[in-house]
Each structure stands twice: as structure tokens, then as C-alpha cells.
Structure 1
Amino acid sequence: MKIVIIGTVASSFLGFRADLIKSLLEKKHTVYAFTSEYSKEQLSLIESSGVIPVTYKLSRGGISPLADIKSIYELSKKIKKIAPGLVFCYFSKPVIFGTMAAKLAKVPKVIGMLEGLGYTFTEQPNQVSRKTRVIKKAQVLLYKIALPQLDKIIFLNSDDPKDLLDKYSIKVKQVEVLGGIGLNLEDYRYSSVYPTQPTFIFIARLLAEKGIHDYIAATKIVRNSYPNAKFIVLGIIDKKALGALTEEELQEVTQANIVEYPGHVNNVSEWIRNSSVFVLPSYYREGVPRSTQEAMAIGRAVITTDVPGCRETVVDGVNGFLVEKWNPQALAEKMIYFIENPEDIKKMGYESYKIAQEKFDADKVNKRLINMLGL
């Protein structure tokens, strides 16, 4: 069968979709990867993996009705030329516009996957901006148009269908919950070796909604009582994002030895292995955070927030702790728990590993996803 997969950034095909695509190719399907953000090198890498890359135009940010209608029409022509048996869209805009284009091209089966509801659906500690409220209204309207046309919609967690479909009365034919996009566990081998110094690691873009400010505030509380504890931050600064950690703020906490920031690294799994506990105090509308899955596969206990997506990764008190969002004090208390109960670092880390083996093994996840796609 010819299968069209519509995403946005080419790197997501090479990273997060590689195992799924490999499984589809092994089943002798012909796979087309539609990407709107790419480099020549990325297109070559996609092609060398046995997939046919197809480029298309779609603005990721903002909503321009005329430009979007034109994009749908142009996209539908490219899909119609291929005449696939299935179109599979992921990410918000491809799910909306890819679905409309696929229906226009009279594709027999169209399935979408939303990996979290994203920034516009993220509850903020302060008032949400007028622009965000307008974008959210427009997004909900477009979902109401597009999602009923899908043969099936797949979510990663059980909160998202409630907060999108039920809350806004969006009727869909069929809903499935996948539970995470999965990892190649060979790349994230279990390690029972821990540093002698209690070491906490945060891995995410340095955004307010990913919890970087709460993490830093909690480290300051912990260091007052346990100055030998070590805190690592991995992630990039987003200069355009509202409320993101600034370079000045980062420099201030690194120079004061509050956190260690090595900058860009290519060996994230090694940094996780050299840590004791993984911490992600995110309040972003995650699907299921990939960084947490990686830490769990390596065998690290997790402290994260009791919010949609994040709560899918922790059984409270078993492989880590769930804490209230926007609460650095609660976060600090759980870090201190691990410092004072070091035997639970290893015990809960092993429980994380067992959960990752069951829930996040790419082989198992891809089998579930391929079954959901009816292939």
C-alpha cells in the first residue's frame, strides 16, 4: 500500500518516526514523507532510509485563511497524484490541513494523531494573552471542521480527548489512546550505576511552561540544607518565547554554582546515566514527554508534575513522585526525600525501567500504532 505521512519538520521523520517507518517498510508498504520544514541534507537522509520525501508549504505559526486554503489545495493535488490508501497526519496543523487536503483528494482512509494539545491549551499561572485566546478559538473551530472527517484520531494520553473532544463537543468517528510514541530502548540502556553525589537533571527547552523557573527555585531551597547536591540543566534557550529563561538569568545561576549548564551536548543519555534523579516540573500540555521516557528507560527515578502527559510517566511513590504544578517548595521536598533516602533512588529507578520496558518500547508501541492504523 502507498502510505502518506504528513508532518512538519523533516527532523521528526529522522528521529521520532524512524522506527515506525522502518516497520512499515518491512511490511512492503511504500512510504511518502511530507515535510514543510527541511534542508537538502535532511531530504537526502529521508530518501536514503527508503522513504520518498515530498515537500509542501504550510505556515506553522499564525492563521491566514487565504494562505491556508491555498496550502490545502496545493497539498491535495500532491496527495491525489500519489493516490495513497492511507494518509496519516501528526502535529496540530498537519492534522487540520492534511485531513482537509486528504479528503479533497478522496483518500479512502485518513487518520490523525495529536501528541499533546500544545501551548494554546496550556494553563498559565498568570492571565493568558489576548492573542493566545484568539488563536485557541480559531484552533478549536478548525478542529471542529477537520476532526469529524477523520476515520480515527489517536492521542498519547487519556486527558487530551476529554479536554478537547468532550469539552468542545467535537464529534469524531473513533478515538484511540497510544500512551507514548516510544523509544528504541537499545539507545537508552539500563544503568544501575549512580553517582556518589546526589545529582538531579532537568532536560527540556528552557521555557517557563517546561518548568525551568520552578526547577531553579527548588534547587535554591535544596542547596540551603544540602549544598553538596548537584543540579544539571540541559536544553536550549528560546529567545522568542514569552517567559523563557534568559541568558542573563542562566549565567547568574551557573556563576553562583546553583546549576551546571554544559550547553549543547550530543550524548544526552550519558548525562542521564551520570545523574541520580530526573526532574521535569512542566505544566505544558505534553503528549507524553520523551525526555522522561528516556530517563526511565535508563533507570532513573522521576519527579514530575501531576498534569496531563507528565502524569502518564509516574506511579506516585513507585518510580518517583508527582507534585503540584507551580510549586517549587513541593518539588524541593521530593528532591530532599531522595537525598535523605538514597536507597530509593535505585529502587524507584528500577521501577522506572520496568515501566519503560512495558509502555515505551518502540517495538511494542509501533505494533500498537500499526494496528491502530489498520495495517
Structure 2
Amino acid sequence: MKKLRVVVIGNQAFSLINFRGSLIRAIVEKGHEVVALAPDYNDKTKNQIKALGAVPKDYYLSRTGLNPFQDIYTFLQLFFLLRKLKPDIVLSYTVKPIIYGILAAWLARVPRRFALVTGLGYIFTSTREQERITKKLLRKLVSLLYREAFHHATRIFFQNHDDFQEFCLQGLVKREKSVLIGATGVDIKAFSPTPLVQNPITFLLVARLLREKGIYEFVEAAKRIKSKYPTNTRFLLVGGLDSNPGSIKKEEVESWVKEGVIEWPGHVGDIRAWISQASVFVLPSFYREGVPRSIQEAMAMGRPVITTDVPGCRETVIDGINGFLVPAQDVEALVQVMERFIQKPELIEKMGKESRRIAEERFDVQKINARFLHELGL
């Protein structure tokens, strides 16, 4: 097979490494060249990309900004970069890289242009009343831009059925150009089961500190549980602050730590050490996820899961088998299922084994990448 040049466009170097790293390595191992575009490289992340066998390249992107002049600059920069690189394939993921990356690739006459929808994100997540007018306007604008970008895409990949259906119903994509590819996947050898913690029963949430990730619901549930079970429960919140409009303030998180409600190490490098400390993994998100990678990792390590019955999250849990699904933003329901694990700790091991089984069946990154490579024509 001819050696091809593949450009992968992401919105953060961290996400390229952690979420697309195994796919990049798989493309390189097939004998192709990969150029990885991200806006925030440093020496460490550049070396990590090089270790995957790819070439790191910077470009400008205001990930959560709304300044149209900045976005026009991003689009033009991508166009000139792609015209210079002359790739055979472009793969873009997340909102702005999809919109500007696909359109720039089309104008630069890149032969094959692929978009990966990894959830619908902040703009498509309903939150507070006062945000709704602004969000509706942004949603309409993003939908128009998505429609134009998808029109010029060779194929559009979706991670969950809900997003696929919604975009088809809205007329943003054509079904014949769309593929339900499934989750990003996890290295089930690297994320292998570790001994379960039963004392104290430890509930772990790993996420960027956005209100839409269910942080407030987790903390409120922690307060209620700890008032009833003060000595035999522990709550870990792992994740960094974010520039997103829905980000929680550092002072607020520190106040929860000071009250003794949660422990917060911030953003961590190797999440496995923290999953190993957990009895149960919790993600009470109402964010429009793809299929949450954090849940996949916890499942691979044999942890039962509590998550919400919303798009993306519901793809990971068979209710009552490897964990529980609860309604979004329902603290009382969250408390009730947490108490089930406290009162019946044998569920932790039983459901944890099911999580590992499901992870092996559905979320093995080797199987997922093989299908991805096939769809990319590699």
C-alpha cells in the first residue's frame, strides 16, 4: 500500500495524546505518516506525540472563545497549513476543528476528509435559564456551520446513537455519509483490574471541573452520605479547572475540601493510581458526552459505575448489572444508589466483574482501532 500522509486536528495536545494516541500509533504502524495539529503544545506534549511516531504541529485556536476574528484566523491558518502539507487524509474532532478543519481541508483540496463527533458538548447541553437565549443562538450558528462542514466531509463518525439520530433528524448530516463508530476505547491490558477498596467505600469522579459534568450533584450527594456514614465513606474528585463557560471556580472546590466533603488532587497524570483507590466510579454528567473515556477506564479496571441516563453515558452501563443509571441532576437518586453499595458492599465486586467483562467486549481499543482504520481506508 502507498504511504499516505494523515493530518489529525484536535483542540488540545492533551486530548490528542490521551484520546487519539492509540489511533495515531496504529496509523503509524500501518506505515503511514501522521501530522498531529494542536494549539497548545509544550516540550512535554511534543515529545509524547513524537513517541507515537507522529509529527507535532502548532496552530492557533481559541477553544471556547466567541471572537469571530480569532476563528477566521484559525480557519485561514488551517487552510494554508493543509495546502502546504498536502495530506491525503484529514481527521478532525471536536466542534471547532471539525468546522474549520473540514472546510479548510475541502478548500485545500484534501482528497479524504473525515469528522469525528465526540459528543455534542457545552453548546448542546441545556443548563441554567439565563444561559438559554445565548445558547440557543450559538446552537443555531454552530448547527449551520456543522451542516456546511459535514456537506464537504467524506464521512462523519459518531460515538453514540443519540448524537447520530439527532444530527440526522436535524438534517445536519446525510445517513449514507455517517458511521456509528462507537467509543474511543481503552487499552484493556494497561487498564487491568486491581484489588477493590471496601473500607472506606470510596466514590471517585474523574472529569474536567464543569458544572455540566455533575460536579455539584456529586458534592451534594457526598455531603448527605458523609452526614449519615461519616467514618466509612470517602469521596475523590479528580480533574483540572477549565476555560469553558461552565467551569467551576477554584475557590469553590477548595471550600469543599476544607469542609472535608471531598479530596481534590486536581489534574493528575496517571489516572490508574486513583481508580485503584476507588470502590465505585461516579459520573453524574448531563454534558453531551460521546462515550466517556473515564468510565471506560474505570470499567476496564473492574469498577462498578453510577452514571446518568443521558446520551453517551447510558452506553456504558447495563442498569443493575455493572452499575446503576440515574436521572440527570437528581441528587436524591444519586444518594440512593450510593447507599446501595454502602449497605450491600458485595455489589462492588459483583458489578465490578461485569464492568470488566463489558469493557473487554465493547471498549477494547484494539478492536475499535481496527474498525476505524478500515473506515479510513488504511
Into which bin does the TM-score normalised by the smaller protein fall? over 0.9
Aligned to 1:234: 238
Aligned to 2:360: 357
- Distance in 2, Cα, partners of 1:193 & 1:251: 28
Give the AA of the match of 1:236.
G
Q: Assess, with a 3 A threshold, how the Cα gap between structure 1 residues 187 and 12 changes in structure 2: closer, same or farther.
A: same
In structure 1, stretches of 5+ residues that fail to align are none
- 3-state SS of paired residue (1:314): coil
Aligned to 2:374: 371
Contact 1:253 1:259 in 2 (8 A): yes
Contact 1:156 1:287 in 2 (8 A): yes
Q: Assess, with a 3 A threshold, how the Cα gap between structure 1 residues 361 and 316 changes in structure 2: closer, same or farther.
A: same
Q: Are 1:156 and 2:159 counterparts?
A: yes
Deviation at 1:263, TM superposition (A): 4.0
Deviation at 1:148, TM superposition (A): 1.3
Q: Percent identity?
A: 41
Q: Assess, with a 3 A threshold, how the Cα gap between structure 1 residues 246 and 110 changes in structure 2: closer, same or farther.
A: closer
- 3-state SS of paired residue (1:110): strand
Deviation at 1:342, TM superposition (A): 1.2
Aligned partner (choices 332, 335, 341) of residue 344 of structure 2: 341
- Distance in 2, Cα, partners of 1:360 & 1:170: 26
Q: Are 1:53 and 2:56 counterparts?
A: yes
- Distance in 2, Cα, partners of 1:49 & 1:268: 20
Q: Are 1:209 and 2:212 counterparts?
A: yes
TM-score by length of 2: 0.91
Aligned partner (choices 160, 164, 170) of residue 167 of structure 1: 170
Q: Are 1:291 and 2:297 counterparts?
A: no
Single out whichever of 70-79 and 157-166 deviates more from structure 2. Answer: 70-79
Q: Assess, with a 3 A threshold, how the Cα gap between structure 1 residues 367 and 145 changes in structure 2: closer, same or farther.
A: same
Q: Are 1:115 and 2:103 counterparts?
A: no
Aligned partner (choices 312, 318, 322) of residue 319 of structure 1: 322
- 3-state SS of paired residue (1:185): coil
Aligned to 1:42: 45
Deviation at 1:241, TM superposition (A): 5.0
- Distance in 2, Cα, partners of 1:67 & 1:230: 44
- 3-state SS of paired residue (1:231): strand
Single out whichever of 56-65 and 328-337 deviates more from structure 2. Answer: 56-65
- Distance in 2, Cα, partners of 1:54 & 1:94: 14
Give the AA of the match of 2:240.
I
- Distance in 1, Cα, partners of 2:44 & 2:195: 38
Q: How many residues align?
A: 374
Q: Assess, with a 3 A threshold, how the Cα gap between structure 1 residues 16 and 258 changes in structure 2: closer, same or farther.
A: same
Deviation at 1:206, TM superposition (A): 2.4
Deviation at 1:168, TM superposition (A): 4.7
- Distance in 2, Cα, partners of 1:161 & 1:243: 25
Aligned to 2:30: 27
Contact 1:221 1:329 in 2 (8 A): no
Deviation at 1:113, TM superposition (A): 0.3
Contact 1:148 1:172 in 2 (8 A): no
Aligned to 2:262: 259
- Distance in 2, Cα, partners of 1:158 & 1:50: 32
- Distance in 1, Cα, partners of 2:238 & 2:304: 17
Deviation at 1:149, TM superposition (A): 1.1
Aligned partner (choices 14, 18, 21) of residue 17 of structure 2: 14
Deviation at 1:70, TM superposition (A): 4.8
TM-score by length of 1: 0.92
